[in-house]
Amino acid sequence: MTAQSLLGTYLRLRPDSSIEELPAEGFWPRLMAGALGDFHHEYLVTTARYSASWQSWEQHPLGEEIVCLLSGRMTLIQERDGAQVEVALTQTGQYALNPRGTWHTADVHEDSLLLFVTAGEGTVTRPRA
């Protein structure tokens, strides 16, 4: 076995406690086209680098998400009860939870590396105005 990188891989955590490695390249188009199944009671674990603020909102209607800052500085923005709530992530290891069904996006203040643990089933997106 050789070391792998979460920068190029999604880990699919299955209900039977098995793990499937999925290449990040082309992941979202395959997922949205239904080629990867429905992710029922499954989680995705990955990392991603961001140098600019997110261009869309997303929501995970069937589960919660952990967003953990590994480096950089950003603000997670959530829509709650008709208002926007900001959560500043400024120190390595800080994390925020996106509750089930909460629309969220992010403003990136400096290049950031994030770790995500996401209940991916039913994820939806919308453009950011």
Per-residue pLDDT of the chain (129 residues; tens, 9 = 90+): 788 889 989 999 999 999 999 998 888 788 778 888 888 899 999 999 999 999 999 999 999 999 999 999 999 999 999 999 999 999 999 999 999 999 999 999 999 999 999 998 888 899 998
Q: Based on the structure, what is the number of domains in the chain? A: 1
> Is 68 a domain residue?
yes
> Is 111 a domain residue?
yes
> Is 3 a domain residue?
no
We report the CATH number of the domain holding residue 98 as 2.60.120.10
Look up the domain containing 73 and give its range: 9-127
Q: Token match 């939870």: residue?
A: 97
CA 16 – CA 23 distance, rounded (Å) = 21
* Cβ-contact 37, 103 below 8 angstroms: no
> Is 1 a domain residue?
no
> Is 92 a domain residue?
yes
> Is 44 a domain residue?
yes
pTM of the predicted model over 0.85: yes
> Is 81 a domain residue?
yes
CA 118 – CA 63 distance, rounded (Å) = 8
